[in-house]
Amino acid sequence: MSRRVQLVEFARDGDWSVVAGAGLFVALAAGGYYYNITFVQLGLVDLGTTVVGLDGDTVSTWMAGFALLTVAVAVATGWTMDRRGWSRSVLTKLRLVTLTVAAQLLLVVVAPLVRSPAGFGALVVWCSLSLGVAVPATFALAVDLVPVPDRGAVGAAATAGAFGIGAVYPLEWDVVAFSRVMAVAIVPALVVLGTLAVRENALVARWDRQRERFGVGRFRRTEDVTTRTLTFWVLVLLLFGAFFVDSLGFLRIVETPSLVGGSWQSPDVGVRVAIAASHVAGAIAAAVLYRNFGRTWLFCWVFGTFAVTHLLYTFAVRFDTGGSVLAMPLFYALAVSLYTTFNFALWADLSTPADVGLHTAVGVGVAGWTATFLSTALALSFEARGVTLLAHLELVNALAVVLTLVVGTLLYVRWALAGRERDRRREVRQ
């Protein structure tokens, strides 16, 4: 595999349709992820607890239901896309994305007006349905728009965009601020998507033809990885662990003024810019790792970094050092960018155009959204039941350490099996 970024070569050759397609994917992935980590994960919780006045247990139940409904809709959509051939049509996927973005625009406009528990429940269901359709429709575009060798770099660009902006803006973390930002961002995006999706055009037709070059993912070229294989589900479980550990720890940290006040919500813009820079650095590192290492090694980096991160937070709470140590959020940003970049790149690289809808729905839906919002619900439940900050962070750190050991064991088993196979072949030759 070439070590060069192919998009640079396409740009030098004047093949701007490829560059434009990859840019569109980055914009959709970054925008969608920013929407998820701000409006959905933080904004809906703020709406339920602060604005509507629901207790933590009720909001956590709604968020758990949100997670399960989202993955059910995503899997049904992904299966339908593959079955009906929509996964092999750029125009159809763009139309699905356009419809979901329009639904999300209405959602962010209406959200600040909600004041009743029934309205909050309806909003959660609305958000879940639109997100469930958006997940496979958006991620399945990678097989059409992103050159296979560049998927790590493109995933890094999307990660850097989502978290780099999210770490700096908005300053207020409430549903009104998040809704305002998302509405301003969605309107021009909807115009561009609507223009592309309204009818067949030359640019979309060229993107459709790119699938012949970009369609078969990196890992599908060497092994048959499908939803019927153990390898696929091991990867789903590992990424589920990464998302779960992240959200379970982060939701408690941001609810602790002493920890969040000196980091993500610091009045010092330099601190927030430093966190954004750490996200960008982590994304770049992830792109390099993704291109040069196998899948299991990637997860070693992810869980190892999370273990160090939560160990720092645990020490800070146990020994009352305060939340002013910048190394803690910087490590956290690094760990989050690592696994998010892998998540953007991995599922298309495990797919072909015939099965990318279901693969991305299961991968992103189960490993991503389900883990994120189940852990969000659990974090809210822990806080409502009086679980101490230290006990909460120690649990998260223990999970990260266990997952690191599990991945290390997998590496050892693979090494041992490979060694036995080499010995067997040597004996056969003799």
Looking at residue 1, what is its pLDDT? 46
pTM for the whole structure? 0.88
Domains of the chain: 6-429 (1.20.1250.20)
Looking at residue 166, what is its pLDDT? 85
DSSP 374-395: HHHHHHHHHHHTT--HHHHHHH
User: CA 36 to CA 32: how far, in whole Å?
Assistant: 6
Return the structure tokens found at 378.
């659990």
The neighbour count for residue 412, using CB atoms within 10 Å, is 10
Within 8 A by CB and 6+ apart from 104, the residues are 35, 127, 130, 131, 134, 182, 186
User: CA 187 to CA 192: how far, in whole Å?
Assistant: 9
Alpha carbon of residue 367 to chain centroid? 9
Return the structure tokens found at 375.
């852990």
Which one, of 213, 287, 276, 159, lies nearest residue 21 by Cα?
Answer: 213
User: CA 150 to CA 6: how far, in whole Å?
Assistant: 6
DSSP 73-136: HHHHHHHHHHHHTGGG-HHHHHHHHHHHHHHHHHHHHHGGG--SHHHHHHHHHHHHHHHHHHHH
Question: What phi, psi does 272 have (nearest 5°)?
Answer: -65, -35
- Measured CA to CA in angstroms, residue 2 lies from 5, 22, 152, 155, 220 at distances of 8, 18, 13, 18, 17
User: CA 285 to CA 299: how far, in whole Å?
Assistant: 13
User: CA 67 to CA 364: how far, in whole Å?
Assistant: 12
- Measured CA to CA in angstroms, residue 298 lies from 269, 284, 291, 343, 400 at distances of 32, 14, 10, 11, 14
As to burial, measured by CB atoms within 10 angstroms (0-12 exposed, 13-18 middle, 19+ buried), residue 410 is: middle
Return the structure tokens found at 62.
């709604």
Instruction: State which residues of the chain have pLDDT below 50.
Output: 1
Looking at residue 426, what is its pLDDT? 66
User: CA 67 to CA 44: how far, in whole Å?
Assistant: 13
In the block, which residue shows the tokens 């699905």?
96
User: CA 306 to CA 309: how far, in whole Å?
Assistant: 5
User: CA 414 to CA 428: how far, in whole Å?
Assistant: 21
Looking at residue 261, what is its pLDDT? 79
User: CA 360 to CA 343: how far, in whole Å?
Assistant: 10
Residue 1, SS3 per DSSP:
coil
Return the structure tokens found at 209.
């033809």
Torsion region of 76: left, alpha or beta (phi above 0 gives left; psi -120 to 50 gives alpha): alpha
- What is the chain's Cα-based Rg? 21
